[in-house]
Amino acid sequence: MPGNVPITHYLFLSTALFTLGVIGVLARRNIVIILMSIELILNAVNINLVAFSRHLASVSGQAFAVFIIADAAAEAAVGLGIIIAMFRNRGTIQADELDLLKW
Amino acid sequence: MSYGAQILRLLPEAILTVFGVAIMLADPLVRRKRALGYLAVGGLVVALLGTVLMVQQGWWGPAFSGHILNDPFAVFFRVLFLLIGLLVVCSSFDYLETNAIHHGEYYALVLFSIVGQGLMAASVELVMIFIGLEISSIATYILAGFRTRDVKSSEAALKYFLLGSFATAFLLYGIALIFGATGTTHLAEIRAALRAGPMGPMAAVAAALMFVGFGFKVSAAPFQVWTPDVYEGSPSPVAGFMSAGPKAAAFAVFLRVYLTALQPVEGWFWLLWVSALLSMCIGNFGALVQTNIKRMLAYSSIAHAGYVLVAFAARSELGVAAVLFYMAAYAAMNLGAFIVVTHFGGEGERHVSIDDYTGLGHRQPALAAVLTIFLLSLIGIPLTGGFFGKFYIFQAALKAKLIGLTILGVLNSAVASYYYLRVIVVMYMREPAPTSPPAARVPGAISFVLSVAAIAVLYLGIFPGDVLQFATRSAAFFR
Amino acid sequence: MEFVRNHILTITLFTPLAGAVVVMLLNKERIDAIRWVANIFAFAGFLVSLPLVFWFQSAQPGFQFTEEAMWIPSIGARYSLGIDGISLLLVMLTTVLGSISILSSWTAIQDRVKEYYVFFLVLQTGMLGVFMSLDFFLFYVFWEVMLVPMYFLIGIWVGPNKLYAAIKFFLFTLFGSVLMLLGILVLYFSYHTQFGAYTFDIRQLISLNLPLNTQIWVFLAFFVGFAIKVPMFPFHTWLPDAHVEAPTAGSVILAGVLLKMGTYGFVRFSLPLLPGASADSRIVKFMVALSLIAIIYGALVSLMQKDWKKLVAYSSVSHLGFCTLGLFALTPNGIAGSVIQQINHGISTGALFLIVGIVYERRHTREISEYGGLSNVMPVFATIFMIITMSSIGVPALNGFIGEFTILQGTFEVNKVWAGLATIGIVLGAAYMLWLYQRTMFGPITNPKNEKLADLNWRELATLVPLVIWAFWIGLYPKPYFRVLEQPVAQIVQRVRPGYYAKRAVPVPAQPVVVPAQAQVTTEK
């Protein structure tokens, strides 16, 4: 165990991050912040995976976390690209102004 | 097993990746972009041949330390994805030209998306499933926004992207929890661990969180909100593609994960039950009031996800076979309908209102006739694939004693006939108005894919035996 | 010849479809060629069905001319055809009315002629398939497929309100049939549980032994499907709308043949496959009550109609009430009478719709008040209309009498009150038909527009005369009809009420107990 921190602490941290992320996605209006909130959830997942990996002495959790980090980067790249396209067309990146298509 | 022998289990994906990269490389060098489309068609055909070779040579079984499993289930879906890809690519040539967005990467993205879908169908391990899902999704996010100068398209891409990655995050959180509960990410091992030990609440929470992720990808209620917006805003061939390929792939992993790994967690059955019912009702009643044909088809695709979930809820081999058959039939008929919409929309997709179809039966009888075939199949009239698909679904559900759900399902499918009929009504039973869009000549590629789709729909309806047998064999491993 | 004999049903079934394919290949500008081809194929469809009448063995029980082929092995669905006496009569009705109605559309249909005939011929094949299928799945396929051409026939041609009517027709029947499909599946799975094989073959399904409760649920599922098609009382609302909007030939086929599919469904599937439920006193009372309501309600509503065609449409509700009443009397006379009445209704109501169509084509209105005194200008027309009116209200020596009388006799056997109530329907029927006749035909010509109306031409005569002859044939010499029905009806009664024949010492199945006096002497054919 890393130091004497029990697994539940990591789980609490991860749950807190997850909740913050979900709240961020649902409550914030700026799309870049929404994107960041999603990244927050992904990091909550990473913390979970690494903690479990350590706890269960299985390396596959850490490997998975690496894949998620790579995927998050790809997603962010595509996401920012889409946001820029949107900004060019509409001149705004506020989620509540995306009203051309009925939600 | 040598590395080469392992790759052979992923032969179609390998071929498509090579062709996809080749298209990207050739893009700056080629002036006539249609040639890249032909290259993509070539890639898909070679991949199909590769799949056939794979089956003939018996390259079955696990590969890459058991992350990949090449079984009939995986082959069924890959063949389906490749055929969907062929239809989508062929129907895009003229669409991209009229909309002046003819770029090589369009074709590469379609191929990459199919690579991801193939991986999803062949994976029996959660990390691989996740990677496949992301390859497919990221490519599709870009495709949704491919009409870069059109604000609707960007908006659709943005919504799809945001909600999609939000749902993926839920899925990942569920995966992390299930990893914590069982210490493995292999589906079969997860099942064994869940069966062996006492099941904590973590597995149930994980099943619920993953349900959100998959539910989003198959556009099942209550995670369906994105579907109408995204289908409406995306380029029509892409919307058709999304309704067929990624959706079928998501169903493939949905089935695999829930019927193998999470099978010991009983509680998700009720999630499925409620979601099936909600999807059918929201989809059908939502579609009743739509005036835009793409939105109408989007709602209908929610409803069809509901029917598939009914078969899923049967949790039997017959149910899985029904899902497989239905995905094939649905791909043919829905893609067919979207191809008509693609052609008819014209430049900038101006003609996507149902009223624009007024009198099409007089002006372009052939086009109207094939659209009618697709719509009748979506209703579920016998002698079309849609009928047999529904028949097998409700047969499986009834056999599993899901009587309430079955009755609600068939009543729903009767309600659904109303909005499909409405399109037939405006095409045949109203005189063309002077404001109706001019009849555009149907290009060769479009008529080719339309006839292929129509023949497929009728073939699945009149001689469903072969495909059904294939589906049943593919479902067998769930025993 | 051997080949033809073995495949006579397939040939009969697909002749109209072949016609549809040929018409489809013709250029749509060549309207006359299309008309000729369609008529030739429709008539050929009638001709190839004729040998059925001569080759049919009335004394032989079970199905005849059977054909078998595997269709979808994995679910056990087969292409199996065969007919017994009941289906024989309905098949003949279909081929006769089919060719007559196609002939009657010669001038009535002016736009989109090609599509019209294609749909009509496809419809013809669908209806024949329903009456010939021995496989429940095949039956269902024909049953549903037929909806599509009928939908287009109602929707595309004629009628200001046609969209509404067409959709209503489609939705109603679709709702019914999806529930029916569930019922079929229950039988299918029960058979597998009991016998270990999957089949839709009704000759096998008949050996099922289901608990009464299941039977009742399945019966109700079938009931919705069939009752909507008949249509029985609470489900009848689609019928007048569809009729008013459909072209004449569509109405003839709709009333003449399509509605029979509902009653045929009861007699072919509900009664033999679910004998327990069919004989259950709750179900019988329920069905009889609905039938009686239909008889009286249909007649009363007919009395109030101002629209000629609607009147005939509502009279169908009343007449079909008789058919279902006879069926659920569950006596040989009741069932045999019901089948005969189905044929009668096809003949007389088919003819009545042709008659409405003929005046409609001349005047383009169906308001009864627009007419009056037509017998002065159209004497031949008036005569034929008179004969058909008599046939419809059940005057002896004409077909209607035979059917209604036998039904009443069969009903009287079980319950006198039911028979008594049904008689009210006959009286009301006479009232609305005779009143209609009086308002349109008798008296001086009040409307100047009617003064120049032409009498029937040869083509219109050719459509009506066969029906008149047929009406007289059944009225005067119904014996052959009862003979072909004897075996199947006896089988059904035996199944539904196993003790029925035992109670009566002498097993005399389905005899026409009273035949009009003339019948013994005058044998028309």
Put simply, whether B349 touches A (Cβ < 8 Å) is: no
Count of alpha carbons within 13 angstroms of residue C70, beta-carbon side: 8
State whether the Cα torsion C163-C168-C170-C171 is positive or negative: positive
d(CA B68, CA C200): 41
Residue of B nearest to C173 (CA): B414
**pLDDT tens-place string over residues C420-453:** 988 888 899 899 999 988 888 888 888 788 777 8
Residue B62 confidence (pLDDT) above 70: yes
d(CA C520, CA C502): 30
Put simply, whether B469 touches C (Cβ < 8 Å) is: yes
Task: For chains A and C, tell me whether 3 or more CB atom pairs sit within 8 A of each other.
Answer: no
CB contact under 8 A, A58 and B184: yes
Chain C neighbours, 3+ Cβ pairs < 8 A: B
Pair B92, B237: CB distance under 8 Å:
yes
Residue of B nearest to C74 (CA): B465
Q: Which residues of B touch A103 (CB under 8 A)?
A: 159, 225, 229
**pLDDT tens-place string over residues A1-45:** 455 678 888 889 999 999 999 999 888 888 889 999 999 999 999
**Residues contacting residue B58 through CB under 8 Å, at least 6 positions apart:** none
Tell me what the mean pLDDT of segment C164-171 comes to: 80
Residue of C nearest to B419 (CA): C167
C182 → closest Cβ in B382, B383, B398: B398
Residue of C nearest to B420 (CA): C167
| Predicted pLDDT of residue B450 | 94
C155 → closest Cβ in B376, B398, B429: B429
Q: Which residues of C touch B468 (CB under 8 A)?
A: 72, 74-75
Residue B276 confidence (pLDDT) above 70: yes
What are C77's strand-pairing partners? C72
pLDDT level of residue C162 (50, 70, 90 thresholds): low
| Predicted pLDDT of residue B282 | 93
| Predicted pLDDT of residue A1 | 46
CB contact under 8 A, B468 and C170: no
Cis peptide before B437 (omega within 30 of 0): no
Distance from CA of C368 to the nearest CA of B (A): 28
Residue for token pair 């990624």? B246
3-class DSSP state of B63: strand
Question: Which of B383, B407, B425, B472 to mutate: most C Cβ within 10 Å?
Answer: B425
B429 → closest Cβ in C163, C182, C185: C163
B428 → closest Cβ in C72, C155, C179: C155
Residue C369 confidence (pLDDT) above 60: yes
Residue for token pair 């018409």? C23
How big is the A-B interface in CB pairs under 8 Å? Answer: 126
Question: Which of B316, B393, B413, B421 to mutate: most C Cβ within 10 Å?
Answer: B421
% of chain B residues with pLDDT over 90? 57
- Count other Cβ atoms within 10 Å, centred on residue B243: 27
Residue C519 confidence (pLDDT) above 70: no
**pLDDT tens-place string over residues B171-186:** 999 999 999 888 888 9
CB contact under 8 A, A90 and B184: no
Domain residue limits, chain C: 280-525
| Predicted pLDDT of residue C518 | 41
CB contact under 8 A, B417 and C171: yes
CB contact under 8 A, A38 and B232: no
- Count other Cβ atoms within 10 Å, centred on residue B347: 12
**Average pLDDT across chain C, whole number:** 86
- Domains belonging to chain A, first-starting first, are 7-97 (1.10.287.3510)
DSSP assignment of B64-100 equals TTTTEEE-HHHHHHHHHHHHHHHHHHHHHHHHHHHTT
Distance from CA of B464 to the nearest CA of C (A): 7
Put simply, whether A60 touches B (Cβ < 8 Å) is: yes
Distance from CA of B428 to the nearest CA of C (A): 7
| Predicted pLDDT of residue C4 | 82
d(CA C110, CA C91): 29
Chain B neighbours, 3+ Cβ pairs < 8 A: A, C
CB contact under 8 A, C155 and B418: no
Tokens at B75, concatenated? 């082959």
Pair A45, A29: CB distance under 8 Å:
no
Distance from CA of A1 to the nearest CA of B (A): 15
CA dihedral C153→C154→C158→C160, nearest 10 degrees, is -150
Q: Which residues of A touch B125 (CB under 8 A)?
A: none
